[in-house]
Amino acid sequence: MISRDLLLYNSMTRTKELFRPLHPGRVGMYVCGPTVYGDGHLGHARPAITFDVLYRYLTHLGYKVRYVRNITDVGHLEHDADDGEDKIAKKARLEQLEPMEVVQHYLLRYHRAMDALGVLPPSIEPHASGHIIEQIEYIKKILDAGYAYVSDGSVYFDVPRYNADHGYGRLSGRNIDELLSATRALDGQSEKRNPADFALWKKAAPEHIMHWPSPWSEGFPGWHLECSVMSEKYLGEHFDIHGGGMDLKFPHHECEIAQSVAHNGSEAVHYWMHNNMITIGGQKMGKSLGNFITLDQFFTGTHPLLTRPYAPMVIRFFILQAHYRGTVDFSDEALQGAETALRRLTDGWRRIAHLKPSATSDIDVADLERRCYEALDDDLNTPTVIATLFDACRVVNQVNDGTARATAADIEALEALFRTFAFDILGLRLEADGSAAGGVDLAPYEGAVELLLEMRREAKAAKDWARCDMIRDRLGALGFAVKDTRDGGTEWSLK
């Protein structure tokens, strides 16, 4: 275990708090995952990447982390008003597919996108449809506790009753009295006693194709329920961290809290964490605004707002350049900037392997490391970690240019700094990290490029300028950038 004072911003208390796990050495963490009825977009990427970094950092510190991220494959109501219809079932009917075939299609695409973004798989990825029994049992207990009522085969959570006993809306800071006395009156047909009540179980309409038997009706669970049920099943009645996007605070997380308290008598979550939202060109992302860009469209550049494809690592890097509690605005120009910055980082990393050690040293790698840790300990300040890594790049360049000296131990420490913070914790993959890329061993190919550069140096030494230029031009045409270094060597990279 690495002992550090990690501060995390708790959305419930609205302060940074020292992180102390419930069970020494272990962390239980639950993050709301995707509804798999469409392609992944930035709204999926940001929480996944944010809590991936937290998962990686806690693991780095030596905690045994059980990270649960759910898959919503059923019962996600279109609107919280609960009059919507199951989104997946709707899509499935439109496409004349079995709902689970739609789920499989989008789940595979989600997993591929997450892999590409360097997001580690969670320890458990429970599906809502796989926990219907547990949800039914959970509802029974809430009914027994008096915080829910049955209405025409459906079960609703009684928000006014719960609010009177425990207070509802603390996480989101909503004015609950306003909410409860909402002017929008329920028409006579509504099954709900109060508009703020939410469904725990919905009776399925005859044309509804996803449903299960229950004591109340052939139906399906309400969307908010799965997270209370599955977090308790896999992490226990009390657990450390619950994460998600800020848009989930209300009503989803508020409903989760109410369900857990009604079920267990006390709140389940010790630290609530929320990442902020993403905008595109300053606007909220939305299908009607024409700025809804899927992850695959970023990766392939196939959207009118994009001039070209962006590597998944550029997306990750761009997201990490902002603190998770700040907004992030995506634009084609901003991504180009991130791409350039990421290349500078990659160049710095690549250069470390070629540094020549000195007997003495002018550089302070321990200070760089300290700054990285302090940034992470300050509520996961990834932009500061990245800035520190750029400082490390400057140090590398100074040593490379001969304006600073580094011992062999320093050079090793610089390499370790990148490995720990850029790779292990920020989860970046820098092209030249020495590992085989996607199963292809690049080593022989890189050797061929090196051989060409060697032949160019020989041509230069022999003053055969035609050959010298030819090799450089041809490599340039192939997409390689070739740069002569002060010490008479040559560096290359892919443009």
- Interface residue list for a second copy (CB under 8 A): 66, 98, 100-101, 104, 108, 116, 121-127, 129-133, 137, 212-213, 234, 437-440, 442-449, 451-452, 455, 471, 474-475, 478-480, 494
Least Å distance, CB 175 to a second copy, is: 40
Q: Which is nearer to a second copy, 101 or 178 (CB)?
A: 101
Owner of token pair 């982390």 = 65
Longest CA–CA separation in the chain, Å: 94
Q: Which is nearer to a second copy, 438 or 488 (CB)?
A: 438
Q: Which is nearer to a second copy, 9 or 55 (CB)?
A: 55
Burial (CB count within 10 angstroms: exposed 0-12, middle 13-18, buried 19+), residue 63: buried
**Interatomic CA distance for residues 304 and 59, integer angstroms:** 40
Q: Which is nearer to a second copy, 115 or 401 (CB)?
A: 115
Q: Which is nearer to a second copy, 206 or 438 (CB)?
A: 438
> Residue 251, preceding bond cis, omega within 30 degrees?
yes
**Interatomic CA distance for residues 179 and 176, integer angstroms:** 5
Q: Which is nearer to a second copy, 65 or 393 (CB)?
A: 65
Q: Which is nearer to a second copy, 121 or 290 (CB)?
A: 121
Least Å distance, CB 148 to a second copy, is: 19
CA-nearest of 194, 189, 185 to 161 is 194
Asked whether 310 and 339 are in contact (CB, 8 A), the reply is yes
Least Å distance, CB 124 to a second copy, is: 5
Least Å distance, CB 389 to a second copy, is: 23
Least Å distance, CB 56 to a second copy, is: 17
Least Å distance, CB 297 to a second copy, is: 17
Least Å distance, CB 120 to a second copy, is: 10
Least Å distance, CB 187 to a second copy, is: 33
What are the backbone dihedrals phi and psi of residue 41, each rounded to the nearest 5 degrees, phi first? -135, -175
Q: Which is nearer to a second copy, 423 or 480 (CB)?
A: 480
Least Å distance, CB 146 to a second copy, is: 22
Q: Which is nearer to a second copy, 42 or 452 (CB)?
A: 452
Least Å distance, CB 483 to a second copy, is: 16
Asked whether 222 and 256 are in contact (CB, 8 A), the reply is no
CA-nearest of 174, 178, 194, 197 to 186 is 194
Q: Which is nearer to a second copy, 231 or 275 (CB)?
A: 231
